[in-house]
Amino acid sequence: MHDPVALALAEDIGSGDLTAAFFIDADAKSAARIFAKEPGILAGIHPAIETFHQVDPELRVSTTRQDGEKLERGDTVLEIFGKTASIVTGERVALNFLQRLSGIATLTSRYVAAVAGTRARILDTRKTTPGLRMLEKEAVKAGGGTNHRIGLFDMVMVKDNHLLANANLQHLERAVAHFKVEHPHIRIELEADTLEQVAAFLSLRNVDVILLDNMSLEDLRQAVKLNARRVLLEASGGVNLETVAEIAATGVDFISVGALTHSARAMDFSLEIL
């Protein structure tokens, strides 16, 4: 797997930090801190530390907070000491990781809070920034969310396009049975657009999860009744902070939210030389 920190530094520094090389004394040393400029949930502390270590292994970097902790405005999350040029060279990449990932954790925490008291868990999706999926999914966990599949390799999800390729229920049943023989411990999830599909999928063996795609609240409630806890149910589509509580109240087990990773606003952090 690639190293996202190394890639981020390579695209930022390129052949060298010209500003630091010409405008900062090579022997100058400083202490610095990174702090939150607004409230939120911290994520991305490890890639931020790794950024400074890759820029200059002699930098001393210590953290005062851990991923998942609630931050208030002004809270320090990292302290750095060493060559001033190295600190400012790593500054933007470290801040980018913290801002992006803490934004995801913060948004996730709001969804999790909105469904508190229900059985529903908030899931992420594969709608992630290319190359940053693992970091973004860790940020979802830091915000109290639950990771869905990591990729195409660790869970089966038969969606509408797969079903359109072969809509025969008997063929689907044979495919599910064959897969479970080869991969007995991997979950199978089927996407349903209608209650009729839900009923049909419930007649199949070895199905672990049914995805209820873009269904009305009434249809979600009917699907929960039809299911009678036989398999896990995931609601998807039309989910936002205004609708998620009502969706959770229908009794579904999971609610997947693409916005956690594709639309989270960056949380504001800053680095200051002390």
Residue 161 has what pLDDT?
A: 77
Own/partner contacts of 91-94, CB < 8 Å, gap of 24 or more, are 91/271, 92/12, 93/5, 93/8, 93/9, 93/12, 93/51, 94/34, 94/47, 94/48, 94/51, 94/52, 94/271
CATH superfamily of 4-111+265-273: Quinolinate phosphoribosyl transferase, N-terminal domain (3.90.1170.20)
Contact 95, 269 (CB under 8 A): yes
Q: How far apart are CA 173 and CA 164, in angstroms?
A: 15
Q: 4-13 vs 45-55: helix axis angle to the nearest 10?
A: 50
Amino acid in position 49: I
Mean predicted lDDT score pLDDT of the chain: 96
Phi, psi of 129 (to 5 degrees): -70, 125
Q: What is the pLDDT of residues 136-191, one digit of tens each?
A: 999 999 999 999 999 999 999 999 877 765 568 888 999 999 999 999 999 999 99
Q: Is the pLDDT of residue 3 over 70?
A: yes
For residue 163, count CB atoms less than 10 angstroms from its CB and return exposed for 0-12, middle for 13-18, buried for 19 or more.
middle
pLDDT tier at 80, thresholds 50, 70, 90: very high
Q: Which two tokens stand for residue 245?
A: 């509580």
The residue ranges of every structural domain in the chain are 4-111+265-273, 116-262
CATH of domain 116-262: 3.20.20.70
Interval 211-269: pLDDT, tens? 999 999 999 999 999 999 999 999 999 899 999 999 999 999 999 999 999 999 999 99
Tell me the two tokens of residue 80.
């750095």
- At residue 151, the pLDDT reads 97
pTM listed for this prediction: 0.95
196 has a pLDDT exceeding 60: yes
The pair phi, psi for residue 59, each rounded to 5°, is -65, 140
Give the residue numbers annotated as catalytic, written as ranges. Answer: 92, 127, 159, 191, 213
